[in-house]
Amino acid sequence: MYNHFAQKDDVLAALLEERTEELLAQLRARTDDPKAFQPHLQARVARMLAYVVQHRAFFAIANEHGLFAGRRHPGRE
C-alpha cells in the first residue's frame, strides 16, 4: 500500500474522497425517482443511508478520526 501512498493519512484521504463522490452520487436525482417532493426526497435519502450502512466500517473510522466534525482533513495540514 505504501508504494502508492506516503502515509496512512494519504490512504484515508483517498478513501474519503472516493466515498464522498459515491455518497453524493446516491443523493443525485434519478429518472425513476418519484416526482412528488416528499417521496422524491425519501428515495434519495434512503439511497444515501443504505450506502452509509453498506460502508459502515469506513464511516466509523472516518468519524473516529474527526473527519465529519471538521477537526482535520487527512493529508492536509
Q: pLDDT tens digits for 1-59?
A: 777 888 887 887 888 888 888 888 888 999 999 999 999 999 999 998 999 899 899 88
Q: Of 15, 14, 17, 13, which is closest to residue 74 (Cα–Cα)?
A: 13
Cell 444515501: give the residue: 48
**∠ at Cα 60 (29, 18), nearest 5°?**
45
Which pLDDT belongs to residue 70?
61
CB 75 within 8 A of CB 17: no
